[in-house]
Amino acid sequence: MSSEEKLPGWREIPIAGVPYKPSTEYKTGDWKVYKPVINYEKCTKCMFCHTYCPDGAIKIREDGFPEPDYDFCKGCGICAEECPVKAIEMVKD
């Protein structure tokens, strides 16, 4: 059986091509080779990493510190490159 046959049929999906799943159900985290690791001793909560992440993969914790969401982080390295205090290191995933 081909994989297409396991997908819903035309009567089961919304009309007009309207998507029915949030993209958060699609994990882009496995694209990465290196992952960002934050050194919280250095972090000043400046928010550059969160702001510059193309994937919105740096969430803000309740304590105000940033935290990478590895489910979606593609490992581009922008956050590490732009962190003004070099608090982020890219390490092999």
Q: Where along the sequence are the contacts to ligand SF4 (CB under 6 A)?
A: 36, 38, 43-49, 53, 55, 57-58, 66, 68, 73-79, 83, 85, 87-88
Residue 6 contact among ligand SF4, other proteins, none, beta carbon within 5 to 8 Å by kind: none
> How far apart, in whole angstroms, are the C-alpha atoms of residue 20 and residue 47?
32
91: left (phi over 0), alpha (psi -120 to 50) or beta: beta
- Closest distance to ligand SF4 from the beta carbon of 44 (Å): 4
Binder of other proteins out of 38, 42, 62, 72 (CB under 8 A): 72
Beta-sheet pairing, 58-60 with 34-38: unpaired
Residues 45 and 65: beta-carbon distance below 8 Å? yes
CB of 40 to other proteins, least distance (A): 16
- Rounded CA gap, 60 and 91, in Å? 21
Binding site for other proteins (CB under 8 A): 3-4, 7-10, 13-28, 31-32, 45-48, 50-57, 60, 69, 71-72, 74-78, 80-82
